[in-house]
Chains A and B, each alone.
Chain A
Amino acid sequence: MYDAIVIGGGHNGLACAAYLAKAGRKVLVLERRHVLGGAAVTEELYPGFKYSTCSYVVSLLRPQIIRELNLAKHGLTILPLECSFTPHLEGPGLVRWPESAKTRDEIARYSKRDADVYPEFGRAMLNLARWVKPIIDMPAPDPTSFMPQHLSAMAKLAQRFRSLSPEALSQMTKMMTLSAVDFLDEWFESPILKAPMAVSGIIGTFLGVRSPGTAYVLLHHYMGEIDGAFRAWGLSKGGTGEISLAIARAAEQLGADIRVNAPVAKILMKNGSAQGVVLENGDELKAKIVISGCDPALTFNGFVGRDHLDSEFLSHLDRYRLRGSSGKVNLALDALPEFTCRPGRGLHMKGDIAIAPSIDYLERAYDDAKYGEFSKRPYMNVVIPSLTDPSVAPPGKHVMSIFVQYAPYHLKGGADQWPQQRDAFGDTVIKTLAEYCPDLESKILHRHVLTPWDLEKEYGLTEGNIFHGELSLEQLFFFRPAPGWARYRTPIDRLWMCGSGAHPGGGVMAAPGRLAALRILKEGAV
């Protein structure tokens, strides 16, 4: 019999299994699909081209996980992205470089004042990010508990809060309440600079850049850390799936068993307690504890069943916001396209490319979504990983990854309209991008379109939410996934959570998986 069964071979489920196996526990991971990784996956959907089908850039993967699980030995490498490029239909666009002097020249084209303020803003954000960062490295304390360890953790948090300067404290408060645009308005004047900065506030949420609360998510952008230094984004060599596979190799070497093509139908319940799982083929597998790496809705509505849960928990569960808002288009390209505003294949092509020419553009994209349509001119985040990592495409050819927002899960006619709308959505994305690089269409060898409906059906993400639940303040920290249940335990005895729906949330950081395992071990659950 296993000590623990982990449902879902996403990178968090795998990380949780690796840490449990490292502590000598017998663990089994069950993955529904034929490949591991969940939303952190590499798939060769067209011969020779490796798509990072879903997640495409990394920033938050915890360095201690790379160290503790020796992930480099298991094949993991993170390559930094060069810059952030915002192309425009007129003028040269804007590139923000790692070198501050170069960025200064770029911004000064639009505002001399903003060029001066930009580094100051970066420092202020770093200060705040440093304050928040330890929180994502520890389990969320329960503020309603009087257990000594919770009290001391809360006290530590409070102490950190007090150690902020009054200036930083005021920034922090604003950050927690304002919209991304309002927050940025306090710093900058140029809309050309503000637009690409504001978008990090809306990624994966069903909110617009002018919706209150989106400022906080901006901070996440500054928490990305490569090499212990706070820095922007990177790519995983071989595609995002290599992160999951490296963790899986580590887990297997530590003794964990991993099975693919093993969909779980239900959690085996007895007297309100989890006993194991039932697979879709009817096999029953027992374990001392069950850990779900799937999102809260799938876990409780799907695997547990509502009749095992009390009404208070159910009402939290029903209010937990999943409403997906994004899609993805992956392309295999015969050659590199060219951006009209910056021709040639300079370093700017090796960055992340944001189609976010103005704040109004972004808000208009949101307007379409509010009324149940995908954006006619969406916000897009484009990366060409093959320029940085030639191993993902045949020599001379390229992969292009396009993250698209908004694509609301709930279309006007219902979510099941998506299969009929998929091609139109794909066409809109290509057409919009082609306004910036007209030769794009002629270079496309293969196109793969993912709508929120596909994310749910193929990747098990309820309502297509990329983060297992929005990263908005009221469902982070002590509240993720529900008040009182932020410490990986659930109302069901012997059932634990370890996916992005648990603290500290979504993104490829493997922190929920690691923290869940450490918690489970500390509490002596197995």
Chain B
Amino acid sequence: MPKPTPFHARIQPLCESYDWSIWAGQYAVRAFDVCHEREYNAFRQATGVIDVSPLFKYDIRGPDAAQYLSWITVRDLSTLKVGRSTYLCWTDEQGKVIDDGTCSRIAEGHYRLTAAAPMHHWFTDNARGYTVTIEDVSERYAALAIQGPTSRDVLRSISRDIDVDGMRFFGVQEGMLAGIPAVVTRTGYTGDLGYELWVEQHHALTVWDALFESGDRFGIHPAGLNALDVCRIEAGFLMMGVDYTGAFDALIESQKSTPDELGLGWMVKLERSPFIGQSALRYERKSGPSVSTVGLEIDWVALEELYGRHGLPAALPATAWRDSVPLYKSSRQVGRATSGSWSPILKKNLALARVDSRHSKLGTCLDIEVTVEWARATVPARVVKTPFYDPPQKKAVDSNV
């Protein structure tokens, strides 16, 4: 049986659609209403609130914490200052990505790492020789993501001692939220201004109630995974298990990916202290990755024409899709689109894709498979830059942006 999250008592009555999903063994809402449109708009226009408690969380403490984290992840964390967070991934000895998440330095010698899949064994197995403690705090902490252009106002309205306005993109602060001790990080999965709030699970409902009471003026709205999925695609964020297979889940070698293949090469500095996967990645860097991850914009006019030939208006799935579809170049398959969505804000039909690196240059025109009335066809799709949507308030410190 799935377990309720610490916010379940509040979320359950709001979930009028009964559209539940199970996320890491816990109940998570797909959409509160029959359609996720309102929730999407909350993320993009006001503030959407999503329960992210099912994320796996690990507290790393001790004098060697920085060196240890620099060993198990691809990032050099010796330079991460107290009060900062960073996005990162970790790989196996072959340099294949296991998972990705964020790492926050909450205090001197105290870091918190998030993961999509359970990692306690991997983290402890690789801790030998380091003076650190690794605590799985997944159940101890409840987490809420509050995301959207008014989220700064919402956060400010429930905190006294947190310097909300001074908090930069990927900043971390400890303080009181509605009288409850909490950690706040300026992070999220929507590609907009947003924060994640981490509190002990028995305080979850207090924080939820305070948020919704004072957030009302700023258009706060609970949101589910469907709306989040559209936003994360617009933001160009990859999802483990969808856009790539984590090394532990892969059945065959070709299902695994390196950071360079996922477009995460920017976070891998090879000339530094040793880390797991380093030598394999060094080897790959010389020749470059053979597969690349790209953003695609699917030609809308061509899609309309294709449907028109069947006498139909162009139809789109109501939610983001995640069944891979083949991509072709001159009728030869060169990759696959792994997930995609219509972007309501950009009015564009978007996808994330893995393609043969020779066809990954910006502007390259590929053909994506589309099935209309059970007949297969293709329409053009162009390789474009990600994030597809990148609003100025995402990184801005000035609250007038």
Which positions in A face B, CB cutoff 8 Å?
A: 63-64, 66-67, 72, 77, 79-80, 82, 98-99, 130, 163, 226-230, 237, 388-391, 395-396
B222 smallest CB distance to A (angstroms): 14
Residue of A nearest to B297 (CB): A67
Between A and B, 29 residue pairs with Cβ closer than 8 Å are: A63-B300, A63-B347, A64-B300, A66-B346, A66-B347, A67-B346, A67-B347, A72-B345, A72-B346, A77-B44, A79-B45, A98-B35, A99-B34, A130-B313, A226-B344, A227-B344, A227-B347, A228-B314, A228-B316, A228-B347, A229-B316, A230-B313, A388-B41, A389-B219, A390-B217, A390-B219, A395-B217, A395-B218, A396-B217
Task: Using known A-B contacts A66-B346, A67-B346, A227-B344, determine if residue A390 contacts B218 with beta carbons closer than 8 Å.
Answer: yes
Question: Which residues of A sit under 8 angstroms from B46, Cβ to Cβ?
Answer: 389-390
Binary interface encoding of chain B residues 27-65 relative to chain A, with 1 for a CB under 8 A from any of its CBs, else 0: 000000011011001001110000000000000000000
Which positions in B face A, CB cutoff 8 Å?
A: 34-35, 37-38, 41, 44-46, 149-150, 153, 217-219, 300-301, 311, 313-314, 316, 342, 344-348, 389
B313 x A79 contact (CB < 8 A): no
A77 to B45, CA, bound (A): 8
Question: Which residues of B sit under 8 angstroms from A391, Cβ to Cβ?
Answer: 149-150
A73 smallest CB distance to B (angstroms): 8
Query: Which 9 pairs from chain A and chain B are nearest by CB?
Result: A395-B217, A66-B347, A63-B347, A390-B219, A72-B346, A396-B217, A227-B344, A67-B347, A72-B345
Question: Which residues of A sit under 8 angstroms from B34, Cβ to Cβ?
Answer: 99
B218 smallest CB distance to A (angstroms): 6
A265 to B363, CA, bound (A): 46
B344 x A395 contact (CB < 8 A): no
Residue of A nearest to B33 (CB): A99
Task: Using known A-B contacts A67-B300, A130-B313, A390-B217, determine if residue A80 contacts B347 with beta carbons closer than 8 Å.
Answer: no
A133 smallest CB distance to B (angstroms): 9
Interface of A is mostly: mixed
A63 to B344, CA, bound (A): 10
A160 to B348, CA, bound (A): 27
Question: Which residues of A sit under 8 angstroms from B348, Cβ to Cβ?
Answer: 67
Residue of B nearest to A345 (CB): B216
B92 smallest CB distance to A (angstroms): 39
Residue of A nearest to B37 (CB): A80
Question: Which residues of A sit under 8 angstroms from B44, Cβ to Cβ?
Answer: 77
Residue of A nearest to B46 (CB): A390
B80 smallest CB distance to A (angstroms): 32
Question: Which residues of B sit under 8 angstroms from A163, Cβ to Cβ?
Answer: 311
B217 x A72 contact (CB < 8 A): no
Residue of A nearest to B41 (CB): A79
Most buried by B among A63, A163, A390: A390
A61 to B259, CA, bound (A): 41
Question: Which residues of A sit under 8 angstroms from B150, Cβ to Cβ?
Answer: 390-391
A442 to B287, CA, bound (A): 73
Question: Which residues of B sit under 8 angstroms from A82, Cβ to Cβ?
Answer: 38
A390 to B311, CA, bound (A): 41
A366 smallest CB distance to B (angstroms): 36
Most buried by B among A72, A80, A82, A226: A72
4 further A-B contacts with Cβ under 8 Å, apart from A66-B346, A237-B45, are A67-B300, A79-B41, A98-B35, A389-B46
Most buried by B among A80, A99, A395: A395
Question: Which residues of A sit under 8 angstroms from B38, Cβ to Cβ?
Answer: 82
A77 x B345 contact (CB < 8 A): yes
A72 x B153 contact (CB < 8 A): no
A276 smallest CB distance to B (angstroms): 36
B349 smallest CB distance to A (angstroms): 8
A112 to B153, CA, bound (A): 46
Residue of B nearest to A226 (CB): B344
Residue of B nearest to A127 (CB): B313
A226 to B40, CA, bound (A): 14
Question: Which residues of B sit under 8 angstroms from A395, Cβ to Cβ?
Answer: 153, 217-218
Question: Which residues of B sit under 8 angstroms from A98, Cβ to Cβ?
Answer: 35
Most buried by A among B153, B342, B345, B347: B347
B298 smallest CB distance to A (angstroms): 12
A229 to B44, CA, bound (A): 19
Residue of B nearest to A134 (CB): B308
A66 to B345, CA, bound (A): 9
Task: Using known A-B contacts A390-B46, A395-B217, determine if residue A80 contacts B41 with beta carbons closer than 8 Å.
Answer: yes
A79 to B149, CA, bound (A): 14
Most buried by A among B44, B314, B346: B346
Residue of B nearest to A65 (CB): B347
Residue of B nearest to A350 (CB): B38
A213 to B342, CA, bound (A): 37
Residue of A nearest to B313 (CB): A130
B150 smallest CB distance to A (angstroms): 6
Residue of B nearest to A71 (CB): B347
Question: Which residues of B sit under 8 angstroms from A77, Cβ to Cβ?
Answer: 44-45, 345
Question: Which residues of B sit under 8 angstroms from A389, Cβ to Cβ?
Answer: 45-46, 219
A390 to B42, CA, bound (A): 11
B147 smallest CB distance to A (angstroms): 15
Question: Which residues of A sit under 8 angstroms from B313, Cβ to Cβ?
Answer: 130, 230
A82 to B42, CA, bound (A): 13
A163 to B44, CA, bound (A): 41
B211 smallest CB distance to A (angstroms): 15
A448 to B344, CA, bound (A): 33
Residue of A nearest to B219 (CB): A390
A108 smallest CB distance to B (angstroms): 19
A72 x B37 contact (CB < 8 A): no
Residue of B nearest to A80 (CB): B37
B372 smallest CB distance to A (angstroms): 15
B350 smallest CB distance to A (angstroms): 11
A63 to B314, CA, bound (A): 13
Question: Which residues of A sit under 8 angstroms from B347, Cβ to Cβ?
Answer: 63-64, 66-67, 72, 227-228
